[in-house]
Structure 1
Amino acid sequence: MTSRSRVTVLAGFAPAATDAVARSLLVADPSLTLVGHDLSAVRDGVVTRTVRTAAGVIERGRTELVHGCVSCTLREDVLPTLERLSRERPGSDIVLCLPPAIEPAAVAALPAELTFDSFVTVVEAAGLLDDLTSSDDLRDRDLHAAANDRRGVAEVVARQIEYADTIVVWGSPALGPYDRDQAAALLHRLTPWAVQVRVGDGPTVDCTGLAARLLRTGRHDPAVPAMLGRALEGYPIGIHDRAGDHGVNAMLFQSRRPFHPQRLHDALEDLAATSLRGRGQLWIATQPDTAIAWESAGGNLMLGNLGLWLAALPADRWDEATPMRRLSADAAWDPYYGDRGTALSFVGLGLDTDALTATLKGCLLADAELAEGADAWSKLPDPFAEHYSWA
């Protein structure tokens, strides 16, 4: 019986570097099949798929945009394409190279019939800091996939990095040692769970060595949730390193008591601007049932709904949660708060961790407010209610 093809997903915001890595893998392993998608005509409703090997292009195909959604279109095209190639090219592993503005989490949601071996993100060291500090939207760089695609550059770059189990740091002979090391320090704090592989610092690339570090590693664990769900499942969301190195530092903030809605709302702009990247979960006193996602990048802030706290569910509905979430909640269960709690990670350049911690603590309920109980909390002014629906 022929073994199932293993799929390595290659993402990256710098298309030239990502393409160079993909071609290096083909050189190192002629048995590989490379699948890529061209979005240059996506606003005309067309996505072009190319399949190639080291010997050249073996097929081109076109697919129409589904519901105006690029991620939906790729998902609907990728699954049948990869399954078909697995049958037609038995014993050939596959590299799926994503377009620059596509986030790998969109592909990871595909059914388990596929064996994802690793999620690799290629980062161009020279442009990393500029992208993570950029306030540009994808539209500003003509990379938006649809009229309603309002994602920011920093947001997309951060998500591509955070989802990876392997980071390829594409350097340049012109890039100084300090800048190379700063990029590595920044990537380590953004995704401490990923293996870093550095290439491109010299005039040549060791294709065989690169392939050995990227292919057939088995690094992808499908049980690990995407970034914003990690804390709920008990997985780390970052590291606490106040001192840092090469100007890059990071901090974790955790609290069992809830945020005061008005004070948190008043501080949002400052909190979003303080760090390069913020992520995690929180709870607000006036919203005791809902776990709220926090995601900040490029000075922008996104809040979202992570679902209900287990403490807000009857016990007979706990089986709706994953085993890891139930175990995590049980291990840290509080007799008053249950599994409710704030867990936030921040990464920055010269981040003033003392000031940020003080700001966050100042937004929590004070002792006197806490003592008044949940009935009193529900009557607090809640500006979030005007803009967000957590139901």
Structure 2
Amino acid sequence: MNAGATARRGLLGLVCGNTPEVRGRVLDLLRCASPDALVLSVSVHADGTGRYPFVQRFVMGGEERRRGSLCQGATGDPAVIIRQDLDTIARTASRPHVVLALPDTVDTAPFLAELWRTPLGRTPLSHHYELAPTAVGVDPGRLLNDLRCVHRATRVFGHDPNAAPLTVAEAAARQLEAAQVMVLRGGPGEGDGRREGCRALLGHLNPSALVHLDSDDADLTALTALVRADSGWSTAAPADRLDIVAPVVRRRGVDHGVTSVLWRSRRPLHPERLTESLPRVMPSVVRSRGHLWMATRPRTVISWRSAGRHLELHEAGGWLEDEDPAAWRAASPQRRTLASWYWDDYYGERRNEIVFTGADLDPDRLRAALDSAVLDDGELALGAERWARLPDPLLGDAAPGPES
């Protein structure tokens, strides 16, 4: 894209929040900073049949003719519908600033990746817009309640309209991790330390994000980044940030009792011993994310996610192999760089890497429990064929394949 085309692009920002009130507050702050911004507010409603949801859009700001053409509902893939709306806005306005307000029923990161994907025969949105930082409004009381809620599931929409529901805790954690800016709202009871404790937790869950403490007399100059292009997108496209084998971001130190612990190992895990270690690992963990190298599935990346007391493990694609150039080409630039950095002549990029965040974690005890679950020298020497026969109470028996 030439310099002239870049100069003509508009700006697209995303706003969400864990309550309608805090989402509205972030929108108010954005409209103060950019009065001419057009706000495209979205609601997504499932009908319970597993089919595509109903997507309602409402527009504030901008020109009246554009508001009238977009205030409507449609049934279909939310990303497809919103992409068409953004195309329409770009064709009728010169360098528009659009703020996309998403409900908490949308999984922000995969939704943005799907929105930014270019369908065959269509003009990429990146030709019309630069991405501004994603802003998330946070109500402290609601957040702490949601992170404890693992008994109830919620339907969220991202890249797959028919994806399985998530726990409320997992959905809340993902929303925070998608943000570049978080606006932490004050209110009654903030003198009990809950707000500061929540701020410390946000800093560990998403160390690269700016956390802004909001109040009626807040200094709005701290939010000017919300109305500028986010330079971070120049090095990683939205889809690249979803790669399960991604750079680990961890905040060091202890803040209001909250800490983050990184565990790494270059040996495969024994699934039965990993299961036995969980009671020593998971108490006091609020959130953990990463990937595993499981002995029973040596060719497969296993995704690890926990929120509250709910732990989810699932197969998330394959490890990069020397003899598979197509997989290398399909991988994100950051994934290829990491694989080259960590490459082992025998095991390739395989490794375990998890970050645990919680209150009063014991790093030595946590790491020791996981270290006891990897294969010892004798088990390692047996090779992948024997590993595949190990009992696996977490993932079950592996399907017959090249690794077994």
> Into which bin does the TM-score normalised by the smaller protein fall?
0.7 to 0.9
| Cα pair distance change 1:366/1:228, threshold 3 Å | farther
CA distance in 2, matches of 1:262, 1:150: 27
SS at match of 2:321: helix
Encode CA deviations 1:331-373: one digit per residue, 9 max, x unaligned: 2212222110001010001122222222211211123222333
Q: Do structure 1's residue 47 and structure 2's residue 52 form an aligned pair?
A: no
Query: 1:104·1:163 contact (CA, 8 Å) conserved in 2?
Result: yes
Residue 318 of structure 1: how far off its partner (Å): 2.8
Q: Do structure 1's residue 23 and structure 2's residue 28 form an aligned pair?
A: yes
Query: 1:228·1:293 contact (CA, 8 Å) conserved in 2?
Result: no
Encode CA deviations 1:27-66: one digit per residue, 9 max, x unaligned: 3422100011134686695332101118999335333333
2:211 to 196, 204, 208: 196
| Cα pair distance change 1:331/1:213, threshold 3 Å | closer
Query: 1:289·1:312 contact (CA, 8 Å) conserved in 2?
Result: no
Query: 2:26·2:136 contact (CA, 8 Å) conserved in 1?
Result: no
Residue 136 of structure 1: how far off its partner (Å): 4.2
Matches within 5 A, 1:297-316: 297-311=307-321, 313-315=323-325
1:215 to 227, 243, 258: 227
Q: Do structure 1's residue 239 and structure 2's residue 248 form an aligned pair?
A: no
Matches within 5 A, 1:108-127: 108-109=112-113, 110=115, 111=117, 112-114=124-126, 115-127=130-142
Q: Do structure 1's residue 229 and structure 2's residue 243 form an aligned pair?
A: yes
Residue 273 of structure 1: how far off its partner (Å): 4.9
Unaligned runs of 5+ in 2: 118-123
2:381 to 355, 371, 376: 371
Identity %: 30
Residue 315 of structure 1: how far off its partner (Å): 4.8
1:102 aligns with 106
CA distance in 2, matches of 1:104, 1:148: 14
CA distance in 1, matches of 2:240, 2:23: 22
Matches within 5 A, 1:1-391: 3-39=8-44, 46-53=54-61, 58-59=67-68, 61-66=71-76, 73-109=77-113, 110=115, 111=117, 112-114=124-126, 115-139=130-154, 150-172=165-187, 174-176=189-191, 178-200=193-215, 203-204=216-217, 209=221, 211-221=223-233, 222-223=236-237, 229=243, 232-233=245-246, 235-241=247-253, 244-268=254-278, 271-311=281-321, 313-315=323-325, 317-386=327-396
More moved, 300-309 vs 275-284: 300-309
| Cα pair distance change 1:55/1:20, threshold 3 Å | farther
TM-score normalised over the length of structure 2: 0.82
Ranges of 4+ aligned residues in structure 1 off by more than 6 Å: 54-57, 143-148, 387-391
Residue 322 of structure 1: how far off its partner (Å): 2.8
CA distance in 2, matches of 1:147, 1:334: 38
CA distance in 1, matches of 2:293, 2:231: 32
Query: 1:277·1:296 contact (CA, 8 Å) conserved in 2?
Result: yes
1:70 aligns with none
SS at match of 1:11: strand
CA distance in 2, matches of 1:259, 1:376: 13
| Cα pair distance change 1:317/1:157, threshold 3 Å | closer
TM-score normalised over the length of structure 1: 0.85
**2:243 aligned partner, one-letter code:** G
* Count of equivalent residues: 375
| Cα pair distance change 1:307/1:370, threshold 3 Å | same
Query: 1:272·1:300 contact (CA, 8 Å) conserved in 2?
Result: no
Encode CA deviations 1:226-275: one digit per residue, 9 max, x unaligned: 66626x24x2232354xx12011110000000100222234456645541
SS at match of 1:356: helix
**1:83 aligned partner, one-letter code:** D
CA distance in 2, matches of 1:290, 1:35: 40
CA distance in 1, matches of 2:105, 2:367: 33
CA distance in 1, matches of 2:275, 2:28: 48
Alpha-carbon RMSD across the aligned residues, in angstroms, is: 3.0
More moved, 329-338 vs 54-63: 54-63
| Cα pair distance change 1:12/1:269, threshold 3 Å | farther
**1:209 aligned partner, one-letter code:** T
CA distance in 2, matches of 1:269, 1:390: 31
SS at match of 1:249: strand
| Cα pair distance change 1:91/1:320, threshold 3 Å | closer
Query: 1:123·1:167 contact (CA, 8 Å) conserved in 2?
Result: yes
| Cα pair distance change 1:373/1:106, threshold 3 Å | closer
Residue 384 of structure 1: how far off its partner (Å): 4.4
SS at match of 1:161: helix
CA distance in 2, matches of 1:316, 1:47: 37
| Cα pair distance change 1:368/1:14, threshold 3 Å | same
